[in-house]
Amino acid sequence: MGCSVFTGAWLIGALKAESLPTYSIRELNNAIGNLLERGFAPRFLLTGSVSKPQLKKGHLWLTLTDGEANINAVVWSSQLSQIRYQPSDGDGVLVVGKLNFWNARATLSVNILDIRPNLSTVLKKFEIVKNILIKEGVINNKQKKILPSHPQCIAILTSKPSSALADMLITAKERWPLTRLIIIPIPVQGNVASQIQEALKTLCDQYQKLKIEIAIIARGGGNREDLMVFDDENLCREIARFPIPLICGLGHEDDITVADLVADYRAATPTAAIVAALPNKESAKVELLQKHQRLNDYLDWFLQKQLHSLKIRIRELKKLTPLVLLKNKKTDLMKRKQIIQALSPDQWLRRGFLIVRNELNQSITSIKDVHIEETVNIQLKDGIIKSKIKSIHQRR
């Protein structure tokens, strides 16, 4: 009790000595609030991880932490509808915010004006969804559809207007102006996966009627975090089962999303996507000139071949004229006559050979055909000798 009296007396003396200002609780809290407003940036960027996000009365309450310190944060319902990304527990985020100080309770929190996932969160989701779809066989290079070489109609799903779309239209006109382009506006950033899915489903119902042969989903440059919508599992499934070839041209060359992996063709940029879909008119022109030259060469060769064939036929026809045929026949008969004469018995008789016949004028070729005392006729080149057989001797 004595200590309390001593302390109270000391404190009254100190207050008189220093002439310190006196505040009520409300006045003190108001002064702190004014001090924060004047001395702290009205808006700032804050990095951290989300802990225990929950919706209460339309407002999103959460805690932001960096592992060493925490601070409460809130997204008011009026702002929540404008924010494209709603974090989950453990997500790394980048926050645009300002300080909220409630004078009545002297509590401090971050009023979140915008919130986006940081790169680690994006890559984590990419790996999770990719592994799920690989395991299910949704990501499978063997199932990819082949792009038609000269499509008559292409559907482009992208934001409108945008520089990406403008570049694609210019490139399409330069490469192959004959192809008809159908532009389907879609949102390409934020929590818009369901809207892109609906656009794909509608196109799936109409592509045959519109005679669309290729679909392109395109989005221009930006951070990898801005492409997180294209890592959405349901959207990627919709892309994988799309009935016609689908090209993804998203972001920059180094940006790869799950949508790129399930698409039939992955292009590094939107412009590269339209280049992959369309032939090049200059290359086609060169190819046509080459084909024209080859056709001319073939026609020359064909005509020369036919001319040579005609010359051969003319020569053959000349051989079939009556005079030539008679001459050939005469020549053939002369050759036959010479052969007959060469094989004629008269020729053999002139060379000293003999022809022996019996009385019945039958040729005798063996000693068995004659008998002793039998008369035979021996023909020489200039006559016939009749002779009677006196003896027969067999060759040993």
Q: Do 176 and 109 lie in a common domain?
A: no
Are 93 and 36 in a shared domain?
A: yes
Q: Tell me: do 156 and 235 sit in the same domain.
A: yes
Quick one: 188 and 237 in the same domain?
A: yes
Q: Are residues 162 and 80 in the same domain?
A: no
> Which three-class secondary structure string do you get for the chain?
CHHHHHHHHHHHHHHHHHCCCCCCHHHHHHHHHHHHHHHCCCCEEEEEEEEEEEEECCEEEEEEECCCCEEEEEECHHHHCCCCCCCCCCCEEEEEEEEEEECCCCEEEEEEEEEEECHHHHHHHHHHHHHHHHHHCCCCHHHCCCCCCCCCEEEEEECCCCHHHHHHHHHHHHHCCCCEEEEEECCCCCCCHHHHHHHHHHHHHHHHHHCCCEEEEEECCCCHHHHHHHHCHHHHHHHHCCCCCEEEEECCCCCCCHHHHHCCEEECCHHHHHHHHCCCHHHHHHHHHHHHHHHHHHHHHHHHHHHHHHHHHHHHHHCCCHHHHHHHHHHHHHHHHHHHHHHCHHHHHHCCCCEEECCCCCECCCHHHCCCCCEEEEEECCEEEEEECCCCCCCC
User: Domain of 127?
Assistant: 122-279
Domain assignment present for residue 93? The answer is yes
Q: Which of 253, 279, 305 is the last residue of a domain?
A: 279
Establish if 265 belongs to a structural domain.
Answer: yes
User: Is 288 domain-assigned?
Assistant: no
Count of structural domains within the chain: 3
CB 89 within 8 A of CB 50: yes
Rounded to the nearest 10 degrees, the angle between the axes of helix 233-240 and helix 119-136 is 40
Q: Beta 92-102 vs 70-75: how paired, if at all?
A: unpaired
Is the pTM higher than 0.85? no
CATH number at residue 187: 3.40.50.261
> In this structure, is residue 302 part of a structural domain?
no
Does residue 159 sit in the same domain as residue 172?
A: yes
Residue at 289 is within a domain: no
Same domain, 138 and 236: yes
Q: Which string of b and e fits 76-95 if b means at least 16 CB within 10 Å? A: eeebbeebebbbeeebbbbb
Per-residue pLDDT tens digits of the chain, which is 396 residues long: 444 444 555 555 555 545 788 888 888 888 888 888 777 778 899 999 999 999 999 999 999 998 889 999 999 999 988 887 888 888 899 999 998 888 888 888 999 999 988 888 889 899 999 999 999 999 999 999 999 999 999 999 999 999 999 999 999 999 999 999 999 999 998 889 999 999 999 999 999 999 999 999 999 888 888 899 999 999 999 999 999 999 999 988 888 999 999 999 999 999 999 999 999 999 999 999 999 999 999 999 999 999 999 999 988 888 778 888 888 888 888 988 888 877 777 777 777 788 888 888 888 888 888 888 888 888 877 888 888 888 888 877
Q: Final residue of a domain: which of 279, 310, 344?
A: 279
Q: Domain for residue 342, yes or no?
A: no
| Same domain, yes or no: 94 and 178 | no
Tell whether 349 is covered by a domain.
no
Q: Are both 69 and 139 inside the same structural domain?
A: no
**Does one domain contain both 81 and 167?**
no
Q: At what angle do helices 270-277 and 163-175 cross, to 10 degrees?
A: 30
Q: Same domain for 84 and 170?
A: no
Quick one: 323 exposed, middle or buried, by C-beta within 10 A (0-12, 13-18, 19+)?
exposed
CATH number of residue 49's parent domain: 2.40.50.140
Question: Does 66 share its domain with 182?
Answer: no
Residue 305, domain member (yes or no): no
Instruction: Mark which of 279, 311, 341 sits at the end of a domain.
Output: 279
As a dihedral over the C-alpha atoms of residue 341, residue 342, residue 344, residue 349, rounded to 10 degrees, the angle is: 120
